[in-house]
Amino acid sequence: MTLQLPTLGEELTSRQPDQPADPRVQDTHASQSRLIWRRFRRHRLAVIGGIVLVLMYLVALFAGFVAPFGSNTFQADQALRPPQLPKFSLAHGFYVHPSVGKTNIQTMDREFVEDRNTYVELRFFVRGDKYKLFGVIPADRHLFGPKDPHQRWYLLGADRAGSDLYSRIIYGSQISLSIGLLGVGVSLVLGLLIGGVSGYFGGWADTVIQRVIELIISIPTLPLWLGLAASVPPQWGPTPTYFMITIILSLIGWTGLARVIRGRLLQARGEDFVLAARLDGLGSGRIIGRHLLPSFASHIIATVSLAVPSMILAETALSFLGLGLRAPAVSWGVLLQDAQSLQTLDSAPWLLLPGIAVVLAVVAFNFVGDGLRDSADPYGRRD
């Protein structure tokens, strides 16, 4: 190291710029993330979407606690039971009446007769079906449910097997919401690597990668999914199937991200501060990691949050068609399988409720993504 410190002369101390500050400009010391947050907060829809998402993920995380019953407990005689709204009386608190289901031989409809003399009393923080919190901690407390753990209550009705639909939607959110994040995570790694190589080095690598991406994009997605998903052996358990489906979804999903990253890199590569960093003697790795990636990280986060809903939709579509996850795994798509038959839908329209959960999650993600995209560049102009 032959660098020497510049010697400081005494006369150098008073070299402050003597330009008075413009009184109309406020001096801000906020960092990049603060500026983004400040802008994001002004996006009312995005903030609402964010709150909805946080709630949904919390529910998914504490599914066993929030759901009154286990995901695979059922009572066959309650199949296709309509939703039961709780009633209130001073003697019993919140309660519902149990009912017995019969199939009408003439119409083949399910008919339920309420037993007005018995009460299913509902309470908060009751003991009920056993579950494992976060998959490890054994517990049996539930946020709310029947006081007597052997009684049943169907807030959003029952599915074809006689399970509580509400509990199953909550358990289904675990897979449906996580597969989106996990799939996009895998896509992001692939996209960053491949798009990064393509954008930073350019040349023939860029040409080859871009042509491959175009090839993949040009294949119609649904048949490709179907083909890949059909190759998952049906005897596999839910967990391997889950990971296979994730990988299948992200193998196709990375292309869009790779393109975005390449475009951003090409744009950022031309910035003066990148040339400055090169002249500072920084290596490629440091330039990418320290200057390029941070400069578009916020854009990537925005793109990713817009990619999650398409993953959720893809999983739902595959499972709905019976090629994704299969029972006993519970996901929103699996639940919607019940809603395939128009006849069932006619008599039990509540089977479509998992679809509303899908819509809610997708819309919330889109709002958040839009808000992030708009606030991603705090130095850009806003129109």
Partner 1 sequence: MRFFNARARARFDHAAEVGLREATVADDTLRERDVVLSVRDLKTIFRTDDAEVKAVDGVSFDVRRGATLCIVGESGSGKSATARSILQVVDNPGLVESGQILYRRGPDDRVIDIAALDPRGAALRTIRGGDIGLVFQEPMSSLSPVHTIGDQIVEVLRLHDPQTPAEMRARAIDELGRVGIPEAEERFGAYTFQLSGGMRQRAMIAMALVTRPALLIADEPTTALDVTTQAQILQLLADLKSTLGMTMIFITHDLGVVAEIADDVIVMRHGTVVEAGPVDGIFHDPQHPYTRQLLATLPQRSTLGGWAAASKNTPERPSEPTTAPILEIEHLDVTFSGSSGRIFGGNRRAVHAVKDLSLAIPAGSTMGLVGESGSGKTTLGRCVLRAYQPDSGAIRYHTDGGTVDLARLTDQQLAPYRREIRMIFQDPYGSLNPRLTVRQVIGDPLRAAGVERAEIDARVAQMLDLVGLRPDMASRYPHAFSGGERQRIGIARALITRPRLVVADEAVSALDVSVRGQILELLADLQSELGLTYLFISHDLSVVERICDRVAVMFHGQIVEEAKASDIFTAPTHEYTKALLSAIPLPDPRLRGTRELLTYRPTDDMVSV
- Chain positions contacting partner 1, by CB under 8 A: 1, 3-6, 8-9, 12-13, 15-19, 21-32, 35, 38-39, 42, 202-204, 206-207, 271-273, 275-283, 286, 290-291, 294-295, 379, 382-383
328 cis-preceded (ω within 30 degrees of 0): yes
The least CB distance from residue 198 to partner 1, in Å, is 11
Tell me which residue of 366, 382, 273 sits closest to 311, measured CA to CA: 366
Tokens of 258: 């790779």
| C-beta closer to partner 1: residue 142 or 262 | 262
Instruction: Using alpha carbons, list the distances in angstroms from residue 108 to 103, 344, 347.
Output: 6, 11, 10
Q: Looking at residue 339, what DSSP letter applies? A: G
Q: Are 249 and 229 in contact (CB under 8 A)?
A: no
Q: How far is the CB of 46 from partner 1 (least distance, A)?
A: 15
Length of the chain in terms of residues written? 383
Min. distance of Cβ 7 from partner 1 in angstroms?
A: 8
CB nearer partner 1, residue 30 or residue 193: 30
* Least distance between partner 1 and beta carbon 297 (Å): 8
C-beta of 32 vs 72, nearer to partner 1: 32
Rounded Cα gap, residues 66 and 170, in angstroms:
8
Q: Of 206 and 370, which has the nearer Cβ to partner 1?
A: 206
Complex with partner 1: residue 135 or 203, whichever CB lies closer: 203
Are residues 174 and 60 in contact, defined by beta-carbon separation less than 8 angstroms? yes
Closer residue to partner 1 in complex, CB, 55/208: 208
Which regions of 32-136 does DSSP assign to beta strands (E)?
87-89, 93-96, 99-103, 110-114, 120-133
Q: Which is nearer to partner 1, 113 or 276 (CB)?
A: 276
Q: What is the distance between the alpha carbons of residues 313 and 269, in angstroms, rounded to a whole number?
A: 35
* Minimum distance, C-beta of residue 15 to partner 1, in the bound complex (Å): 3
Q: Which residues contact 329 (CB under 8 A, 6 or more apart)?
A: 175, 238, 241, 242
| Minimum distance, C-beta of residue 25 to partner 1, in the bound complex (Å) | 8
* Residue 211 CA to its chain's centroid (Å): 30
> What are 1's two structure tokens?
């190291």
Minimum distance from residue 280 beta carbon to partner 1 (Å): 4
Rounded to a whole number of angstroms, the minimum distance from the CB of residue 277 to partner 1 is 6
3-state secondary structure of 126: strand
Q: Between 209 and 260, whose beta carbon lies closer to partner 1?
A: 209
Given the complex with partner 1, which of 3 and 91 has the nearer CB atom?
3
Using CA atoms, how far residue 185 sits from 21, 93, 182, in Å, is 46, 46, 5
Bridge partner list, 124: 144
Residue 343 C-beta: closest distance to partner 1, Å: 54
Provide, rounded to whole angstroms, the least separation between the CB of residue 41 and partner 1: 9
Q: Are 375 and 36 contacting, i.e. CB atoms less than 8 angstroms apart?
A: yes
- Contact present, 253 and 183 (Cβ < 8 Å): yes
- Which residue lies nearer to partner 1 by CB, 41 or 87? 41
Integer Cα distance of 126 and 137 in angstroms: 17
Q: Compute the distance between CA of residue 29 and CA of residue 35 in angstroms, rounded to an integer.
A: 10
